[in-house]
């Protein structure tokens, strides 16, 4: 068995869905069915990187003996560890820590598991001054716990780990950030060191190149460079200010969204930003979503709440009149701004905010219409995503969570309808157990960007619960009252998050139909000003977003400036162009399209915009 595991390059073993250290093989009999866990598996990568986080904590504790250790989990692409230190760490410190880690790896010390009584472990960490470990131990209900040791370093850990420190072949420390203990800003701010680890040096180098490309595309950096949006301390974190360039792109997105929804037989709605607290109690949000809602405000003796969702408003519009089976399906859509409480430590540019606009819609239909409506929404979703340049995605079917409303039978029916629609559409999907929302199961679609990263965007949710809570009805063909089904769906998710994803997907080089400035006209000398202004007005009159740089600067400088701002087309105008009534056209990437008439340029631009290129 040991020889087979060695050949398989196992770093741990799995049996009966449980993971174990290789050092525990003697605990299993000869009949045990053991599967090798390697770095190629997610579980293997997690074990490998969590082991690297222990080595990093060992290095920090060696260099800074006063350090108090918090937690150090593996992440999707690496690991981190949180430390409580009396002084801020620097980038120079990272180099020292990395060097010390290399020494520990070179010593190839075995990871040893040790089990002892919880009371014993509490005493051990208390004497060591490790208060965070003592707090964690106080919440463990088991009478015994496991620790892991390598050399003179010991840490509280469930495990498993790689056999020895020498198994960590390639690693890199990446950055330092602040992190509140347990993500709560009321707690002490800790210092978090991020790192990554791979089992091959080549893979590490490739990942570091990938990270450099990610940095170049960071929407926060490009948002500032391209003057798209900002966040002001005077207004508050997580609240976005859209600048003219960003607002222009947003308008193009919204116009497209509204036009396509109108074509798809949706009714466009607008709803308020606040409502009486009782509405949210009735919908179930107050019971199931309260930690993401703001404190109520009092108005004339009544409690009101900033809306975290749009659905109760759409329900009220449905309830405003009598409905017949002939009215269904009834599709309501709204670009509705909602407000959700997010801890400041998790806010991240446009990707995690406190106020955002959902591209929301709610479909009220009969139960026999669910499958057709879900199929219709899937088609609509994939069309919208493809238009914005996303043709690769992962699909998930999320099932009933631990806390839910409604009956298990209604959950089974709605889950079955979603599953059937996915299969009829021929979409490959994974089941995400327990990840449905409290009122129903859902389909989630995660788009893949140009770097292959997955982003959660689209969601389709079937809801039997809210129609019951709000006593919704329609008159059936039999003349009797029936209960409609409600389908919640968002195609882009939120405009803020989707916009941030678009910025990174295109690295700020937006397709022509989205670009805030579509053409920049650049004069070589002042005497071409009149002609440039004439061309500009003609293009603008045809709906092309055009600007003219008439400054007394060298043409090379003007071209560089427009290129840096990622304007898709540059129209260069000199004496020859004025004489011939033409414009010398080049693309943002430097491709020279030669001289063309105003009409030819306009035809080129309008054709590309029409096809959303």
What is the pTM for the complete model shown?
0.88
Q: Catalytic annotation on 348?
A: no
What CA–CA distance (Å, rounded) separates 137 from 548? 66
In 3D space, the residue among 43, 42, 83, 44 whose CA is nearest the CA of residue 64 turns out to be 83
Two tokens, residue 187: 């707690």
The strand pairing partners of 394, in sequence order, are 446
- 518 belongs to the catalytic site: no
Q: Is residue 493 a contact partner of residue 369, using CB atoms and an 8 Å limit?
A: no
362 is catalytic: yes
Task: Dump pLDDT digits (tens) for 449-488.
Answer: 999 999 999 999 998 889 999 999 999 999 999 999 999 9
How much is the pLDDT for 185?
Answer: 79
Known catalytic membership, residue 365: no
User: To which H or E segment does residue 20 belong?
Assistant: strand 18-20
Give the closest residue to 369 by CA, choosing from 427, 311, 421, 437.
421
Q: Strand, helix or coil at 375?
A: helix
Counting as low any pLDDT under 50, the low residues of the chain are: none
The tokens describing 114, both together, are 């040790």
Fold of 2-216: 3.30.980
Q: Which of 355, 339, 282 is nearest to 305 (CA)?
A: 339
Q: Report which of 194, 200, 168 is spatially closest to residue 102, judged by C-alpha positions.
A: 168
- 311, 376, 497, 566: the catalytic one is 311
Is the Cα dihedral 529, 531, 537, 543 positive or negative? negative
Q: Examine the residue annotation and report whether 489 is marked as an active-site residue of this protein.
A: no
Helix (H, G, I), strand (E, B) or coil at 276: strand
DSSP symbols for 483-546: PPEEEEEEEEEEHHHHHHHHHHHHTT---TTT-SS-EEEEESSGGGHHHHHHHHHHHHHTT--E
14, 46, 220, 358: the active-site residue: 358
Per-residue H/E/C for 175-224: EEEEEEHHHCCCCCEEEEEEEEEECCHHHHHHHHHHHHHHHHHCHHHHHH
Check residue 587 and give its pLDDT. Answer: 96
Q: Which of the residues 192, 307, 362, 489 is marked catalytic? A: 362
∠ CA 433-439-445, rounded to 5°: 50
Radius of gyration of the chain (CA): 29
Q: What is the CATH number of domain 229-506?
A: 3.30.930.10
Gap between the Cα atoms of 380 and 270, Å rounded: 21
Joined together, the tokens standing for residue 345 give 């430590």
Residue ranges per structural domain of the chain: 2-216, 229-506, 519-610
At 490-510, the pLDDT tens digits run 999 999 999 999 999 999 999
User: End-to-end CA distance of the chain, in Å?
Assistant: 58
- Catalytic residue, from 161, 172, 323, 442: name it: 442
Rounded to whole angstroms, the Cα distance separating 414 from 437 reads: 12
Instruction: Using the CB atoms, write b or e for 74-103: b if 16+ within 10 Å.
Output: beebbbbbbbbeeeebeeebbeebbebbee
Whether 461 is catalytic is no
Tokens of 398: 């999320």
Which three-class secondary structure state does DSSP give residue 54?
helix
Q: Which two tokens stand for residue 261?
A: 């929804």
Residue 62 three-state SS: helix
Could you give the CA distance from residue 278 to residue 284 in angstroms, rounded to a whole number? 10
pLDDT the model gives residue 438? 79
The DSSP output letter for 26 is G
Which of 49, 220, 323, 488 is labelled catalytic?
Answer: 488
- What local confidence, expressed as pLDDT, does residue 139 receive? 94
DSSP state of 405: -
Please, are residues 263 and 257 in contact by the beta-carbon 8 Å criterion? no
442 counts as catalytic: yes
Helices (H) and strands (E) in the chain, counts: 19, 30
The highest-level CATH class for domain 519-610 is: alpha beta
| Per annotation, catalytic residue among 21, 46, 359, 360 | 360
């Amino acid at each position: 068995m040991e020889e087979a595991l060695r050949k398989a390059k196992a770093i741990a073993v799995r049996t009966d869905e449980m993971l174990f250290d290789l050092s525990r093989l003697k605990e299993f009999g000869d009949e045990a069915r053991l599967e090798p866990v390697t770095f190629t598996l997610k579980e293997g990568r997690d074990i490998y990187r969590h082991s690297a986080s222990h080595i990093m904590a060992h290095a920090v504790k060696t260099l800074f003996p006063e350090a108090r250790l918090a937690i150090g989990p593996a992440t999707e692409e690496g690991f981190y560890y949180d430390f409580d230190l009396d002084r801020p760490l620097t980038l120079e410190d990272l180099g020292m820590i990395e060097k010390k880690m290399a020494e520990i790896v070179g010593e190839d010390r075995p990871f040893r598991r040790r089990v002892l009584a919880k009371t014993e472990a509490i005493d051990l960490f208390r004497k060591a001054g490790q208060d965070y470990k003592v707090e964690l131990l106080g919440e463990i209900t088991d009478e015994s716990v496991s620790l892991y040791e390598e050399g003179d370093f010991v840490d509280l850990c469930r495990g498993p780990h790689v056999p020895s420190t020498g198994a960590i072949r390639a690693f890199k420390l990446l950055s330092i950030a602040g992190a509140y203990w347990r993500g709560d800003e009321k707690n002490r701010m800790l210092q978090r060191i991020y790192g990554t680890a791979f089992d091959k040096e080549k893979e590490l180098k490739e990942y570091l190149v990938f990270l450099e490309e990610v940095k170049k595309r960071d929407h926060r950096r490009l948002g500032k460079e391209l003057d798209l949006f900002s966040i002001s301390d005077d207004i508050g974190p997580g609240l976005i200010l859209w600048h003219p360039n960003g607002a222009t792109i947003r308008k193009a997105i919204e116009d497209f969204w509204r036009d396509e929804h109108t074509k798809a037989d949706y009714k466009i709605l607008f709803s308020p930003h606040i409502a009486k607290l009782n509405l949210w109690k009735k919908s179930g949000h107050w019971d199931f979503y309260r930690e993401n809602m703001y404190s109520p405000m009092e108005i004339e003796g009544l409690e009101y709440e900033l809306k975290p969702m749009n659905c109760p408003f759409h329900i009220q519009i449905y309830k405003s009149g009598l409905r017949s089976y002939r009215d269904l399906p009834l599709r309501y859509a709204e670009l509705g701004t909602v407000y959700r409480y997010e801890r400041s430590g998790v806010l991240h540019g446009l990707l995690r905010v406190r106020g955002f606009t959902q591209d929301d819609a709610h479909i009220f239909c009969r139960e026999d219409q669910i499958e057709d409506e879900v199929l219709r929404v899937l088609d609509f979703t994939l069309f919208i995503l493809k238009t914005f340049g996303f043709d690769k995605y992962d699909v998930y079917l999320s099932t009933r969570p631990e806390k839910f409303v409604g009956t298990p039978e209604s959950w089974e029916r709605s889950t079955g309808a979603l599953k059937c629609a996915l299969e009829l559409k021929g979409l490959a999907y994974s089941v995400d157990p327990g990840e449905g929302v409290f009122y129903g199961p859902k389909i989630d679609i995660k788009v893949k960007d140009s770097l292959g990263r997955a982003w959660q965007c689209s969601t389709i949710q079937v809801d039997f619960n809210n129609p019951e809570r709000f006593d919704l009805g329609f008159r059936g063909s039999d003349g009797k009252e029936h209960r409609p089904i409600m389908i919640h769906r968002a195609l882009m998710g939120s405009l803020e998050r989707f916009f941030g994803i678009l910025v990174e997907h295109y690295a700020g080089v937006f397709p022509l139909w989205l670009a805030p400035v579509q053409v920049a006209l650049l004069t070589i000398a002042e005497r071409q000003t009149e002609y440039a202004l004439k061309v500009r007005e003609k293009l603008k009159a045809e709906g092309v977003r055009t600007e003219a740089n008439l400054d007394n600067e060298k043409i090379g400088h003007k071209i560089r400036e427009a290129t840096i701002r990622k304007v898709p087309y540059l129209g260069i105008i000199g004496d020859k162009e004025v004489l011939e009534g033409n414009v010398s056209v080049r693309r943002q990437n430097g491709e020279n399209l030669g001289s063309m008439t105003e009409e030819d340029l306009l035809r080129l631009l309008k054709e590309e915009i029409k096809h959303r290129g």
